[in-house]
Amino acid sequence: MQIIVVDRDGSERTIVGRAGEKLMIVLREHDYEIDAVCGGVCNCGTCHVYVDAEWFARLPKPAADEVDVLAVSAHERPTSRLSCQIVLQDAMDGLRIAIAPVED
Protein backbone atom coordinates (compact mmCIF):
# COMPACT_ATOMS: atom_id res chain seq x y z
CA MET A 1 0.00 0.00 0.00
CA GLN A 2 1.06 3.58 -0.55
CA ILE A 3 1.61 6.05 2.26
CA ILE A 4 2.06 9.76 1.67
CA VAL A 5 4.55 11.25 4.10
CA VAL A 6 5.25 14.93 4.72
CA ASP A 7 8.63 15.36 6.37
CA ARG A 8 9.56 18.04 8.90
CA ASP A 9 10.92 20.27 6.13
CA GLY A 10 7.59 20.11 4.28
CA SER A 11 8.81 17.78 1.56
CA GLU A 12 6.33 15.13 0.51
CA ARG A 13 7.04 11.60 -0.65
CA THR A 14 5.01 8.48 -1.32
CA ILE A 15 6.41 5.32 0.21
CA VAL A 16 5.24 1.72 0.17
CA GLY A 17 4.26 -0.18 3.30
CA ARG A 18 3.10 -3.71 3.90
CA ALA A 19 0.02 -4.85 5.74
CA GLY A 20 0.82 -6.12 9.21
CA GLU A 21 3.79 -3.83 9.74
CA LYS A 22 3.98 -0.96 12.17
CA LEU A 23 4.03 2.42 10.48
CA MET A 24 7.04 3.36 12.64
CA ILE A 25 9.09 0.52 11.13
CA VAL A 26 8.21 1.54 7.59
CA LEU A 27 9.13 5.16 8.26
CA ARG A 28 12.52 4.15 9.64
CA GLU A 29 13.14 1.87 6.67
CA HIS A 30 12.64 4.90 4.47
CA ASP A 31 15.16 6.94 6.46
CA TYR A 32 12.77 9.26 8.20
CA GLU A 33 14.24 10.66 11.40
CA ILE A 34 12.13 8.63 13.82
CA ASP A 35 14.16 7.77 16.92
CA ALA A 36 11.74 5.18 18.33
CA VAL A 37 13.80 5.13 21.51
CA CYS A 38 11.55 2.58 23.22
CA GLY A 39 11.57 0.22 20.27
CA GLY A 40 7.87 0.54 19.61
CA VAL A 41 6.34 -0.29 22.98
CA CYS A 42 4.40 2.97 23.34
CA ASN A 43 6.66 4.48 25.94
CA CYS A 44 8.82 7.23 24.44
CA GLY A 45 6.74 9.37 22.10
CA THR A 46 9.60 9.77 19.62
CA CYS A 47 7.61 8.18 16.79
CA HIS A 48 5.00 10.94 16.85
CA VAL A 49 3.16 11.70 13.61
CA TYR A 50 0.19 13.80 12.56
CA VAL A 51 -2.43 11.90 10.62
CA ASP A 52 -4.47 13.65 7.96
CA ALA A 53 -7.81 14.54 9.59
CA GLU A 54 -9.90 12.40 7.25
CA TRP A 55 -7.66 9.41 7.82
CA PHE A 56 -7.47 9.99 11.56
CA ALA A 57 -11.19 9.29 11.87
CA ARG A 58 -10.83 6.05 9.92
CA LEU A 59 -7.99 4.52 11.91
CA PRO A 60 -8.55 2.24 14.89
CA LYS A 61 -8.78 4.37 18.03
CA PRO A 62 -5.63 4.79 20.13
CA ALA A 63 -5.38 2.81 23.36
CA ALA A 64 -5.26 4.61 26.70
CA ASP A 65 -1.48 4.28 27.04
CA GLU A 66 -0.95 5.90 23.64
CA VAL A 67 -3.21 8.78 24.63
CA ASP A 68 -1.21 9.19 27.85
CA VAL A 69 2.12 9.36 26.02
CA LEU A 70 0.81 11.89 23.51
CA ALA A 71 -0.69 14.03 26.27
CA VAL A 72 2.76 14.94 27.59
CA SER A 73 4.09 15.94 24.18
CA ALA A 74 4.67 19.64 23.60
CA HIS A 75 3.63 19.06 20.01
CA GLU A 76 0.37 17.20 20.48
CA ARG A 77 -2.41 18.09 18.04
CA PRO A 78 -5.93 16.69 17.62
CA THR A 79 -4.70 14.25 14.97
CA SER A 80 -1.55 13.09 16.77
CA ARG A 81 -0.71 9.39 16.80
CA LEU A 82 2.27 7.26 17.69
CA SER A 83 3.40 5.55 14.53
CA CYS A 84 4.45 2.45 16.49
CA GLN A 85 0.81 1.96 17.41
CA ILE A 86 -0.51 2.04 13.85
CA VAL A 87 -0.41 -1.39 12.26
CA LEU A 88 -0.81 -1.03 8.53
CA GLN A 89 -3.75 -2.68 6.79
CA ASP A 90 -4.60 -2.90 3.11
CA ALA A 91 -7.53 -0.57 3.74
CA MET A 92 -5.01 2.13 4.66
CA ASP A 93 -3.80 2.53 1.09
CA GLY A 94 -3.32 6.26 0.52
CA LEU A 95 -2.82 7.06 4.22
CA ARG A 96 -1.40 10.55 4.61
CA ILE A 97 0.73 11.57 7.58
CA ALA A 98 3.26 14.20 8.60
CA ILE A 99 6.27 13.68 10.85
CA ALA A 100 5.87 15.65 14.09
CA PRO A 101 8.67 17.89 15.39
CA VAL A 102 11.38 16.40 17.59
CA GLU A 103 10.57 16.74 21.29
CA ASP A 104 12.61 19.41 23.07
CB of 63 to ligand FES, least distance (A): 12
Note whether 87 binds ligand FES by CB under 6 A: no
Q: How far apart are CA 35 and CA 42, in angstroms?
A: 13
**5-24: which residues touch ligand FES (CB under 6 A)?**
24
Stretch binding ligand FES (CB under 6 A), from 1-9, 36-44, 54-62, 71-79 = 36-44
Q: How far apart are CA 39 and CA 90, in angstroms?
A: 24
The conformation of residue 6, written as its DSSP 8-state character, comes to E
Stretch binding ligand FES (CB under 6 A), from 1-9, 43-51, 52-60, 94-102 = 43-51
Where do runs of H (alpha helix) occur along 1-104?
A: 23-29, 53-58, 64-71
CB of 22 to ligand FES, least distance (A): 8
